[in-house]
Structure 1
Amino acid sequence: ATRLQLGGSPLFTYGEKTFKQNFAYVDADFFEVFTLPLVKGNSKTALIQPNTAIITREMAQKYFGSEDPMGKAITIKSGNTTFQITGVMEKVPVNSHFHFDLFASMAGREDARSPSWMVSEFFTYLVLPEGYDYKKLEAKLPQVVEKYMGPQIKQAMGMNLAEFRRKGNDLGLFLQPLTDIHLRSDFTFDLEAGGDIRYVYLFGAIALFMLLIAGINFVNLSTAGAAERAKEVGIRKVLGSVKFELVRQFLLESVLLTAIALLLAIGLANLALPFFNDLAGKELNLNWMAKPWLLPGLLLFGLLVGVLAGSYPAFFLSSFKPVSVLKGGAAGKPGGSRKGIGLRSGLVVFQFFVSITLTVVTTVVYQQLKYIQNKKVGYDREQVLVIGDTWRLGNNERVLREKLRQDPRVVSATISGFLPAGPSNNNNFFVEAEDNPSQLVKTLRYGVDHHYIPTLGMQLVAGRNFSELATDSTGIIINETAARTFGWAKNALDHTLTNADNQGKKTAYRVIGVVKDFHFRSLHERIAPLVMVLGGNSGALIVKVKAKDTADLLNATKNQWTQFTAEEPFTYAFLDERFEATYRSEQKAGQVVALFAGLTIFVAGLGLFGLATFTAEQRTKEIGIRKVLGASVTNIVGLLSKDFLKLVVMANLIAWPLAWWAMRRWLQDFAYRIDIEWWTFALAGTIALLIALITVSSQAIKAALASPVKSLRNE
């Protein structure tokens, strides 16, 4: 077993150089658990001593140049902590769930030796025997919780573990396979933002469906046009060709077409990758040297697709009887047989089923994201500037706040490490109410100053805001959800909440105000009970600015920052950008699905166009006779269109229930979500019908306008 603890991103110094570096503290055996090879130093002994560190080769080249970093010392500027370099390692692989360029020894750190089981800032990794089911070990963890955490709960909360749980709280230890962290983790806090396996499955399924649709087009058009090659097959069979030779010929034709398509696809992929990477927020590339398996894999895949797509047409075409074909019998027009028509109809239904489903998915995702963007979240996120890492300024943090508050371009400014939307330093705060001591409630604690609520435009529904009076140090402001949780929905003011620290010392807090519920986390989660206390947390300077003054104010603030510290980097963001970043994965997924939906409809439309062309040609004689007997262009168009439109209607009836079920499941991830409206399905169906109607009608009109004399003469 080994542990990792985040070290933050402080400023390091080496000689005259100063640099900001994200790093982690790890146990001495960390490099025995993780196979991160060292190019210098001994992985078994490099981190045994306190204040030692291993850095990556990239970091060594960046900050030490041609110097040998071994034995050199780097210092954290703010804390005067010095690390001696005892190892140089290769860069952490891109497919790791952590990426640090510096790993410092955890030896000698007080918190690393703490006997407390209530500290949750360590990531602990276990190596289990090969083939061992981790669920067996996980089943024993409740005993560990009872034995070690139970007594500490008793000391801190004055109650045993069972009583603690009866009051609505939970405490436990869980195991998670390392391979599940990136795509399958549902933990609130991970070392790095991961992906979502559901989107991998979704995009994989869409790609497969697009490939199937393209294959269906090939099968449809090959079998529909079989009559054109019927005589060729008949003559070859008369001249001695056997079925195997004919199948081989048609399969080779299919594979050749697939090979040409593969070459075109590789070229288009190279051109489209920059656009797709920008759209999806990825860094994909076709690096043939770095991925030697890619080219053989694509060739094998192309061969497989060619064989599968060509198999049915090959066996279908090679099965014609030469006598019937050469006489022009029914077998001579196999493309129009009942079996062939039924197969093509089913494939058309499948194509539009996929297209309609993706259209519904795209529409619902767009509606949900629009709902999120327009929903009132309980605070003002427009024209709010967030200046990060202001704790680095020390006492000048408050000086900068006051200078900004006096600036005429600023409405208000506040200091707090707690920001609504996105990740923040939320910490649990267990409290019990004076009138119900049997109820211990886990709330979130925000440390703020008396400018926090007005700066963010929050609304007090009862009581007052914090003041600078010393008596407010034990005053608290709670949100409406907390008031309801404690049964104080009508009158929460002057009630008392008590919190016990890790040593069991209790502090009583008096409710001085109730703030209207606001979404301090994403809309994936319901609003939880929240407690605001005065002071105790710095970290960011939140500034409400007047419109159109942002650029000038930023320049002035940056200049002021450099007067306080020229070495610390000035970083900032806008609160609305942080809010949007919370839903970046959904936005990217929605854009990619919309792109695929458009491509799917386009490919399905191409197939329908080809099929409609063949159908019109096949029914040339019928159309000519009908025109001679007085049929109008409208009659002819309706005759040729109705069968295809029936297929699209059938595809709608199949797609709607499945799309409703899938999007209902997706929306359940949001605590606050839209209702799926009926018009969403009507819109998708209408789009599919219009595309089918336009596609088929273009060929139907062409056939209807043709001279009947010419068509009857040809027949």
Structure 2
Amino acid sequence: MIRNYFKTACRSLKRNKGFTFLNILGLTIGLAVCLLIVFYVLDETSYDRYNSNGKRIYRVNTDTKFNTSVTSSANTAPKVAEALRLNFPEIEKTVRLLPDEGVRFQKGDELVVEKNALYCDPTVFDIFTLPMLEGDPHTALTEPHTVVISERMAEKYFNTTHVLGRVLVRVGDNNRNSNLKITGVIKDLPVQSHFEADVLESMISDPLASNENLAAIFPFHTYLLLKPHTDHKALEAKFPAFLKKYLDFIEEMEKQGDYIKLNLTPLFDIHLQSNRSNELGANGNIQYIYIYSGVALFILLLACINFMNLSTAHSANRAKEVGVRKVLGSSRMGLVLQFISESMLMSFFATVAAILLAWALLPFFNQISGKTLALTSSTFVWLLPAITGITLVVGLLAGSYPAFFLSAFMPVKVLKGKTAAGIKGNGLRSLLVIFQFSISIFLIIGTLIIYNQLNYMQHKSLGFNRKQVLLVKQMNVLNKQANVFKQEMLNLPGVTSATLSSFMPTAHRRWSNYVTANNNVHQTEFWPVDEDYLRTLNISLDNGRDFNPALSSDSSAVIINQTAARSMGFAGDAIDKTIAYGTNQKQYHIIGVVKDFNFNSLRDNITPVVLTMTTPFERKKQGDGPDVLAIKLNTGELPVLMSLIEKKWKAFSKDQAFDYSFMDEDFDGLYRAEQRTGKIAILFTTLAIFIACLGLFGLAAYTAEQRTREIGIRKVLGANVADLVTMLAANFMKLVFIAFLVAVPLAWLFMNKWLQGFAYRESISWWVFITAGLGAFLLALVTIISQFIRAAIVNPVQSLKVE
């Protein structure tokens, strides 16, 4: 019996090739989009799952408030890890990670910068799952000047993973090199890790590790391995008393409304639910997971609705078939099973086609989403059962309504030609069209708002000029020659100015510290810069003057931004006021106030910043040369100038690769997640609209078929084609208009909430809704008008013959 159903279904689908193609096409696109989003969501939610103890690992965070400065950091002070372990028996082990930014290693005659280097406590192997190919994880990092590297790193430097006992030459500033003994090789970390690590250096080698102060600096990423069945919330509740035990000034801070707090983030929540300062890597956003999952569900529903509409549109052609079958003795259940089998068959074909389409689109999807998704053997472990499930669920979901609708035809009425009246005869189909276009209009509005916000961010005045600013990285390679190289750049035609500093408005590096002003402690950024910083970046002075290296007094001078002046109580006039900084409370006098400039993402408000001038001598004494040379360009011959700059770099650095970027590109990188979201939104919106139009196409065809006799009679009575098309299209336009009214408030609420995540944002303009509405109306009109024109131009004699 079942075999007969499917044999009949195959014949029916083959006989109606156009209907079959459109139905399978809609389902294929909907399922392919769902699969792509499922791949994306599974990838995002699998971060850090490779850790066998992942459910017991927590990161310690630090929240602080000093006057108006509030920070939420993923870091802690050096001694927090040890103090927590000694005070709380619930903690089994602790580990600290400290990024070693821009560390360089000797590779033959070449100097190679490694960006994924971390100082680690020896317990890193007890907490994280880092399978070791060579070496003993219990002793690998217990000695100073030892290092564990990834297999990728071993192949890169030695062309083999058997490197135990060999030496890596670490090249420091001012040629202070050190030999690191390789004591272990670990497997490459999975891509789904919230931090990257190719080099794990012994923490004992870093001087910060021995800092005794619990509150002065917060550079370390601290992780806890809790004992089984420990309630981390109960442990977290004990932290305030713990801090008061070690910091006697906490109670005084709390009286003034300030605080220092510690809290915990579960390891599995870090990637999607943590957006603190100083994260170890670029995290995702759980909101986008919800958005993409919702879009996947909606598009799948659109595909199923499209299937229903196309099936009911085809019902007029099959009404007599149903009537004849019933007269010959077919039961309603038999007819239902027949139509369900057709739906299942199309669902199966669509599912297979969707897998192939998703596989073909995967490289393109990876490009716009920034992922490296791939179909692997492990993928098919869950994909093959999913195919069966999808075929059954979608087949039943999409085919049930047409099956019960068609099987309900009464034989006598059908054979007399009295099938259901068009669009007016079925409110459910009207609701389906409204639902489809509500989603489509919602997606159009959302996409327009996303791109409007991106355009706003790209063109907003940031308080500095990022255009045509070249950033030459790794300047500390040049040591004492850094300032000489800067002067060489200034002599090149097309270079207007240049500045040396470790801190750029579009860079990730920040130095947050504390200063005393007006007898209060204030948290602020503290940036060493040179005398050309403001001029090169076009940062405007609101009051006072710029640094002058000819004045010896400027060695203890600072320039602050307007936000710092307000928070320190100097809003009226900050010039010549003093602030104190450092453990020795060195006095600095304020010589200028710059207008506020955005040095963080536009998601965040501008915070206080203090600029201090450092001379070449001071940089040498500190042993930490500037990382970046920002060069302001003004030339139409950029390739020629870039060639000259690279040539100069090679002459100065010899073995160091020329590492550079442009400031506007770095700025755009701050909003890469939003840019990817915009591209994905365009892709999904286009597909959703296409599927919705297929459904509308089907309903228009259904209506045209059901009103054939009416059209013929009206033409006989003198109606022209334009009148008939207008009459037929009016009901559909009403449905699209209702969909517009439903979608607009929902889109406004949802997108307004999304915009709340940006401190600086564009308001939602009325033209966004008008554009989305007009676009939906035009698409709907173009979709249905072809069907109605074809029905209206048929000879009325032929139309009446149908009856």
Q: Structure 2 CA distance, aligned partners of 1:282 and 1:27? A: 31
Task: Report the equivalent of 2:565.
Answer: 483
Task: Report the equivalent of 2:430.
Answer: 345
Contact (CA 8 Å) 1:273, 1:284: kept in 2 or not? Answer: yes
Task: Report the equivalent of 2:701.
Answer: 613
1:358 is aligned with what amino acid?
Answer: L
> Is 1:107 matched up with 2:107?
no
Could you tell me how far 1:464 is from its partner in structure 2?
0.8
Task: Report the equivalent of 1:568.
Answer: 656
Select the residue among 357, 378, 387 that pairs with 2:463. Answer: 378
Judged with a 3 Å threshold, the aligned counterparts in structure 2 of structure 1 residues 263 and 579 are, in CA distance, closer, same or farther, namely same
Judged with a 3 Å threshold, the aligned counterparts in structure 2 of structure 1 residues 133 and 290 are, in CA distance, closer, same or farther, namely same
Contact (CA 8 Å) 2:275, 2:283: kept in 1 or not? Answer: no
> Is 1:523 matched up with 2:602?
yes
Task: Report the equivalent of 2:95.
Answer: 2
Q: Structure 2 CA distance, aligned partners of 1:5 and 1:187? A: 16
Judged with a 3 Å threshold, the aligned counterparts in structure 2 of structure 1 residues 470 and 165 are, in CA distance, closer, same or farther, namely farther
Secondary structure in structure 2 of the residue aligned to 1:573: strand
Task: Report the equivalent of 1:494.
Answer: 576
2:286 is aligned with what amino acid?
Answer: I
Q: Structure 2 CA distance, aligned partners of 1:590 and 1:707? A: 48
1:211-610 mapped onto 2 (5 Å cutoff)? 211-288=300-377, 291-326=380-415, 328=417, 330=418, 333-334=419-420, 336=422, 341-433=426-518, 437=519, 439-468=520-549, 469-499=551-581, 501=582, 503=583, 505-535=584-614, 538-610=626-698
Could you tell me how far 1:608 is from its partner in structure 2?
0.8
Judged with a 3 Å threshold, the aligned counterparts in structure 2 of structure 1 residues 639 and 67 are, in CA distance, closer, same or farther, namely closer
Query: Once the two structures are superposed, what CA deviation does each residue of 1:69-127 show, in whole Å capped at 9, x if it has no partner?
Result: 11112121224222222222211112111221221222354422332212322111112
Q: Structure 1 CA distance, aligned partners of 2:507 and 2:445? A: 28
Q: Structure 1 CA distance, aligned partners of 2:156 and 2:708? A: 75
Q: Structure 1 CA distance, aligned partners of 2:715 and 2:199? A: 82
Query: Once the two structures are superposed, what CA deviation does each residue of 1:441-495 show, in whole Å capped at 9, x if it has no partner?
Result: 2222121111100011111121110011220012111112222334433422112
Deviates more, 1:412-421 or 1:528-537: 528-537
> Is 1:63 matched up with 2:157?
yes
Q: Structure 2 CA distance, aligned partners of 1:554 and 1:285? A: 37
Query: Once the two structures are superposed, what CA deviation does each residue of 1:572-603 show, in whole Å capped at 9, x if it has no partner?
Result: 11111111111111111111101211221121
Q: Structure 2 CA distance, aligned partners of 1:581 and 1:18? A: 26
1:81 is aligned with what amino acid?
Answer: S
Secondary structure in structure 2 of the residue aligned to 1:292: helix
Deviates more, 1:668-677 or 1:243-252: 243-252
The two structures have a TM-score, normalised by structure 1, of 0.92
Could you tell me how far 1:23 is from its partner in structure 2?
1.6
Task: Report the equivalent of 1:155.
Answer: none
Task: Report the equivalent of 2:14.
Answer: none
1:13 is aligned with what amino acid?
Answer: Q
1:170-181 mapped onto 2 (5 Å cutoff)? 170-181=259-270
Select the residue among 717, 720, 724 that pairs with 1:636. Answer: 724
Q: Structure 1 CA distance, aligned partners of 2:660 and 2:257? A: 39
Secondary structure in structure 2 of the residue aligned to 1:173: strand
Judged with a 3 Å threshold, the aligned counterparts in structure 2 of structure 1 residues 682 and 455 are, in CA distance, closer, same or farther, namely same
Query: Once the two structures are superposed, what CA deviation does each residue of 1:46-80 show, in whole Å capped at 9, x if it has no partner?
Result: 22222222222222233223573111121212242
RMSD: 2.2
Task: Report the equivalent of 2:239.
Answer: 141
Secondary structure in structure 2 of the residue aligned to 1:172: strand
Could you tell me how far 1:31 is from its partner in structure 2?
0.9
Q: Structure 2 CA distance, aligned partners of 1:356 and 1:368? A: 18
Could you tell me how far 1:697 is from its partner in structure 2?
2.2
2:104 is aligned with what amino acid?
Answer: L
Could you tell me how far 1:688 is from its partner in structure 2?
0.9
Q: Structure 2 CA distance, aligned partners of 1:184 and 1:67? A: 36
Contact (CA 8 Å) 2:470, 2:663: kept in 1 or not? Answer: yes
Q: Structure 1 CA distance, aligned partners of 2:205 and 2:372? A: 40
Q: Structure 2 CA distance, aligned partners of 1:705 and 1:320? A: 30
Judged with a 3 Å threshold, the aligned counterparts in structure 2 of structure 1 residues 249 and 656 are, in CA distance, closer, same or farther, namely same
> Is 1:123 matched up with 2:221?
yes
Judged with a 3 Å threshold, the aligned counterparts in structure 2 of structure 1 residues 697 and 323 are, in CA distance, closer, same or farther, namely closer
Could you tell me how far 1:568 is from its partner in structure 2?
2.1
Q: Structure 2 CA distance, aligned partners of 1:291 and 1:40? A: 32
2:577 is aligned with what amino acid?
Answer: H
Could you tell me how far 1:265 is from its partner in structure 2?
2.2
Contact (CA 8 Å) 1:2, 1:27: kept in 2 or not? Answer: yes
Q: Structure 1 CA distance, aligned partners of 2:362 and 2:125? A: 36
Contact (CA 8 Å) 2:312, 2:702: kept in 1 or not? Answer: no
Secondary structure in structure 2 of the residue aligned to 1:176: strand
Deviates more, 1:69-78 or 1:228-237: 228-237
Judged with a 3 Å threshold, the aligned counterparts in structure 2 of structure 1 residues 667 and 622 are, in CA distance, closer, same or farther, namely same
Secondary structure in structure 2 of the residue aligned to 1:605: helix
Judged with a 3 Å threshold, the aligned counterparts in structure 2 of structure 1 residues 706 and 244 are, in CA distance, closer, same or farther, namely closer
Q: Structure 2 CA distance, aligned partners of 1:7 and 1:490? A: 41
Query: Once the two structures are superposed, what CA deviation does each residue of 1:339-385 show, in whole Å capped at 9, x if it has no partner?
Result: x6101000000000000001111111111111111111111111111
Q: Structure 2 CA distance, aligned partners of 1:16 and 1:352? A: 63
1:3 is aligned with what amino acid?
Answer: R
Contact (CA 8 Å) 2:531, 2:546: kept in 1 or not? Answer: yes
Query: Once the two structures are superposed, what CA deviation does each residue of 1:401-435 show, in whole Å capped at 9, x if it has no partner?
Result: 111123232101110111112412232233312xx
The two structures have a TM-score, normalised by structure 2, of 0.83
Equivalent pairs counted in the alignment come to: 695
Query: Once the two structures are superposed, what CA deviation does each residue of 1:1-60 show, in whole Å capped at 9, x if it has no partner?
Result: 222111233222367675433321211121111112112222222222222222222222
Judged with a 3 Å threshold, the aligned counterparts in structure 2 of structure 1 residues 553 and 92 are, in CA distance, closer, same or farther, namely same
Q: Structure 1 CA distance, aligned partners of 2:569 and 2:208? A: 38
Q: Structure 2 CA distance, aligned partners of 1:388 and 1:211? A: 47
Could you tell me how far 1:530 is from its partner in structure 2?
1.7
Could you tell me how far 1:636 is from its partner in structure 2?
1.2
1:140 is aligned with what amino acid?
Answer: K
Q: Structure 2 CA distance, aligned partners of 1:629 and 1:321? A: 32
Judged with a 3 Å threshold, the aligned counterparts in structure 2 of structure 1 residues 98 and 593 are, in CA distance, closer, same or farther, namely same
Contact (CA 8 Å) 2:125, 2:137: kept in 1 or not? Answer: yes
Deviates more, 1:344-353 or 1:108-117: 108-117
Query: Once the two structures are superposed, what CA deviation does each residue of 1:537-580 show, in whole Å capped at 9, x if it has no partner?
Result: 72111110112243223222222222222222220111111111
Judged with a 3 Å threshold, the aligned counterparts in structure 2 of structure 1 residues 335 and 223 are, in CA distance, closer, same or farther, namely farther
Judged with a 3 Å threshold, the aligned counterparts in structure 2 of structure 1 residues 251 and 657 are, in CA distance, closer, same or farther, namely same
